[in-house]
Structure 1
Amino acid sequence: MSDSDSLPGAGCGAAIRDDSGRLLLIQRLKEPEAGAWGLPGGKIDFGERAEDTARREIEEELGIQIELTGLACIAETIDKGDGRHWVAPVYSARIVTGEPRVMEPEKHGGWGWFALDDLPDDLTTPVRDYLAALAAPSLND
C-alpha cells in the first residue's frame, strides 16, 4: 500500500427521497461493501467540489439530475472490503429530471425505492450513517 492509499479518501453521496419519503438505493457490485445496497455517489476528484461530484456521479450512475437540499450527515467507511478509509458528505436530494435506471451495469446490480421501515437487510455504512442522523435529536432541540 502506498502512502496515499493509507490516507482517507474523499467520496460523497446523496440520500434521494421521493414524495412518499422512500429512499433511492443502488446495489453495489464492487468494493467497498460489494453486494450491499447503498446511496448513489462516488469518489471526489481533486479540485471538484463535493456538491458537484454528487450531481455528476448520480447522473453517470442513474441518468437523473438532482437538486441538493442540504447536508444530511458525514459518513465514514473504514476497510469494508477495499482496505481503505473513506470520508463522505451525504446530501439530502430530490430528482429534478429523469427516471432512474442503471447506467453502469458493471458497478451496480439494480436500484429501487425503499420505505424507511422496509429497507434491504444488507445496507452500506453510508446508508446506516444517514439513518442514524435521521434518528438523532437535532442540535437545535
Structure 2
Amino acid sequence: MRPGHDFIGVGVGAMVFDDDGRVFLARRGAAARNEAGLWEFPGGMVSFGETLAAAVVREFDEEYGMAVEVGALLGVSDHILPDEGQHWVSPSFAARWIGGTPAIREPGKCTAIGWFRVGALPEQLTQASRDTLTAYRKKGPA
C-alpha cells in the first residue's frame, strides 16, 4: 500500500525565509513522487507518529542540510493529481532558515535550489506550492 496512491497521503511543506526576506525553492527531479520539473516550497511525507512541524524540520535537514524553525500554518492544500493517480493532503507552514548551507542531498528528487523574492518566483510551481502562495498572500508575512 502506497500513501497518496492507495490511500490519501499527508505531505507537509514550508515557505522558508532567510534574513533578507527571500524564500527557498527546489525544482523537483525525475525521481520525485509527482510533478517532476516544477518548483516547490519543499517538504515531504509525514511519518506515522510524527508531528507536522517535526516532519518539516526533518525533511529540510535530510534533503538540503538546512536547519529551520517552523512558524504559523499558512494553509492546507487538497493536492489531488488525477493524471498521476495521486491524492495528498498538504499542510504548509511559514518557517525561518536558522542554519546549515543549503545543498541538494537527493539529486534524483531535486535538480536545482535557490532563494527567491516572493514577487519574482518561477512561474512553474507545483499545485501545493501555488496554494501555499495564495494562502501566504492572503495572510501576509507570518
Alignment TM class, shorter chain as reference: 0.7 to 0.9
* Equivalent-residue separation in structure 2 for 1:108 and 1:81 (angstroms): 21
Instruction: Structure 1 unaligned segments of length 5 or more: list them.
Output: none
**Aligned equivalents of 2:47 and 2:98: distance in 1?**
24
Matching of residue 15 in structure 1 with residue 30 in structure 2: no
Largest Rg, 1 or 2: 1
Shift of residue 117, structure 1, vs aligned partner: 1.4
Aligned residue number for residue 80 of structure 2: 78
Q: 2:64 aligns with which of 57, 62, 65?
A: 62
- Secondary structure at the aligned position of 2:55 is classed as helix
TM-score by length of 2: 0.87
Structural mapping, 1:119-130, within 5 Å: 119-130=121-132
Closer, same or farther in 2 for the Cα pair 1:5/1:96, shift >3 Å?
same
1:66, CA displacement in angstroms?
0.6
Amino acid at match of 2:18: D
SS of 1:101 mapped into structure 2: coil
Q: Take 2:5 and 2:112, find their aligned partners in 1: how far apart are those partners?
A: 29
Percent identical among aligned pairs is 38
Q: CA RMSD in A?
A: 2.2
Q: How much has 1:5 moved relative to structure 2?
A: 3.2
Matched, 1:93 2:95: yes
- CA separation in 1, counterparts of 2:13 and 2:60? 8
Q: Which amino acid aligns with 2:8?
A: P
CA positional deviation for 1:19: 2.3
Greater shift, 18-27 or 62-71, is seen at 18-27
Q: CA deviation at 1:81?
A: 5.0
Alignment: residue pair count: 138
Give 1:61 deviation, angstroms: 0.7
Corresponding residue of 1:26: 26
Shift of 1:98: 0.7
Structure 2 portions without partners, runs of 5+ = none
Contact kept, 8 Å, 2:22 with 2:117, in 1: the verdict is yes
Task: Confirm or deny: 8 A CA contact 1:14 1:91 kept in the other structure.
Answer: yes
CA distance in 2, matches of 1:91, 1:103: 22
Q: Offset at 1:106?
A: 1.2
